[in-house]
């Protein structure tokens, strides 16, 4: 069973992310159905319902933002950290629609919040005895092309509900008026029932009229998971959000959960222990097992393999 899930050909809805733009270039939207992607994350990490919702929302945001990366080698990292029980969430995406992530503490959980919803904000930010959200949480956005100095943006968490934090990030760090909607519905057996999201942005050509129309459209839209459950496709949601602005479909692509870990990369990780650390590992344990946080794949090393790495280590 483990094999079929880690197989790249495993079931994945094709073209589950759609990019559309208003005919006059005043605004654009990205919308994705990430139900399968979040199901894969849930299968790997076995989180509580609250953490599935938190991680699923951040994975969806990364998939949407990854689609905006400029070149093939660009990578995006999103990290949310607060005083909540989950400890933090780390998510990565590339421009090809590959998304991966993990919660620091998958079993963290809280009762439903006062709206009867999974308490994503509480599990990330933490709550005081009165039930108020704790401050001090951060959202970090890193864009790296592997060549020049990575771009790092950081903002204080607004609510820990993820979509509001992403919206605030675009407004403060990038000065792009944005509306982000993210949702994950969790089944009683903890698998996701529906997951998805959208990122709606006003482009430099947009004016007050564009914003007015978008606000009208967004207010009329039910939550994204409700629309997905009603059977709406990401394309139909894009058209709904850009109603009255002559929406044009720019592109369609697939976003899926995929880890890019390799044995070579794990080798490099072990080499950072340097000769001294490797020698100690060989003497004390005679073997090593490293587990990838993103996909839980285990890389095992016997004594001989560790000795080969020791011989390779320069310092
Ligand atoms: Zn991995």
Cβ-contact 216, 3 below 8 angstroms: no
Residue range(s) in the chain whose domain bears CATH number 3.90.1280.10: 263-312
Rounded to the nearest angstrom, the distance between the alpha carbon of 13 and the centre of ligand 1 is 21
Residue range(s) in the chain whose domain bears CATH number 3.55.30.10: 15-257
CATH of domain 15-257: 3.55.30.10
Rounded to the nearest angstrom, the distance between the alpha carbon of 266 and the centre of ligand 1 is 10
Judge whether residue 293 has pLDDT over 80.
yes
Rounded to the nearest angstrom, the distance between the alpha carbon of 37 and the centre of ligand 1 is 15
Rounded to the nearest angstrom, the distance between the alpha carbon of 259 and the centre of ligand 1 is 5
Interatomic CA distance for residues 29 and 67, integer angstroms? 11
Give the CATH class of 263-312: alpha beta
Rounded to the nearest angstrom, the distance between the alpha carbon of 203 and the centre of ligand 1 is 36
Cβ-contact 182, 57 below 8 angstroms: yes
Burial of 61 (0-12, 13-18, 19+ CB in 10 A): buried
Q: What is the mean predicted confidence (pLDDT) over 277-281?
A: 94
**Predicted TM-score of the model (pTM):** 0.92
Radius of gyration of the chain (CA): 21
Which tokens is 100 given?
């991966």
Q: What pLDDT is attached to residue 15?
A: 78
Q: What pLDDT is attached to residue 12?
A: 54
Interatomic CA distance for residues 126 and 122, integer angstroms? 5
Residue 101 in 3-state DSSP?
Answer: strand
Poorest-confidence range of 11-20, 41-50, 98-107, 149-158? 11-20
Judge whether residue 258 has pLDDT over 50.
yes
Poorest-confidence range of 4-8, 145-149, 288-292, 293-297? 4-8
Q: What pLDDT is attached to residue 2?
A: 41
Band the pLDDT of 271: cuts 50, 70, 90.
Answer: very high
- Cβ contacts of 304 within 8 Å, gap of 6 or more: none
Q: What is the mean predicted confidence (pLDDT) over 115-135?
A: 95
Q: What is the mean predicted confidence (pLDDT) over 78-83?
A: 98
Rounded to the nearest angstrom, the distance between the alpha carbon of 48 and the centre of ligand 1 is 21
Helices (H), the chain: 2-6, 35-45, 49-66, 120-125, 163-173, 208-220, 224-229, 234-241, 263-271, 274-284, 303-312
Average pLDDT, the chain: 93
Q: What is the mean predicted confidence (pLDDT) over 197-205?
A: 96
Rounded to the nearest angstrom, the distance between the alpha carbon of 124 and the centre of ligand 1 is 24
């Amino acid at each position: 069973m483990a094999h079929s899930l880690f197989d790249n050909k495993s079931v994945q809805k094709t073209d589950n992310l759609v990019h559309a733009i208003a005919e006059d270039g005043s605004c654009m939207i990205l919308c994705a159905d990430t139900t399968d992607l979040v199901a894969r994350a849930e299968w790997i990490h076995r989180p509580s319902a609250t953490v599935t919702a938190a991680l699923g929302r951040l994975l969806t945001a990364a998939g949407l933002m990854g689609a905006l990366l400029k070149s093939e080698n660009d990578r995006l990292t999103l990290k949310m950290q607060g005083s909540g029980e989950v400890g933090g969430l780390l998510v990565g995406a590339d421009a090809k629609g590959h998304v991966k992530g993990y919660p620091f503490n998958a079993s963290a959980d809280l009762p439903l919040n006062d709206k009867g919803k999974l308490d994503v904000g509480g599990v990330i930010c933490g709550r005081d005895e009165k039930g108020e959200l704790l401050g001090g949480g951060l959202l970090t956005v890193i864009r790296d092309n592997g060549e020049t100095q990575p771009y790092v943006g950081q903002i204080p968490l607004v609510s820990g509900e993820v979509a509001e934090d992403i919206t605030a990030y675009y407004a403060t760090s990038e000065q792009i008026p944005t509306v982000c909607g993210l949702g994950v519905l969790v089944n009683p057996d903890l698998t996701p029932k529906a997951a998805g999201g959208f990122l709606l942005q006003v482009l430099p050509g947009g004016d007050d009229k564009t914003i007015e129309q978008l606000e009208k459209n967004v207010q009329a839209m039910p939550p994204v998971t409700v629309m997905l459950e009603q059977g709406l496709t990401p394309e139909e949601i894009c058209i709904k959000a850009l109603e009255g602005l002559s929406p044009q479909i720019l592109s369609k692509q697939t976003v899926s959960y995929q880890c890019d870990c390799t044995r070579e990369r794990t080798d490099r990780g072990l080499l950072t222990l340097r000769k001294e650390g490797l020698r100690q590992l060989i003497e004390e344990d005679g073997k090593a097992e490293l587990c990838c946080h993103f996909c839980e794949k285990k890389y095992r090393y016997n004594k001989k393999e560790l000795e080969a790495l020791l011989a390779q280590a320069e310092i």
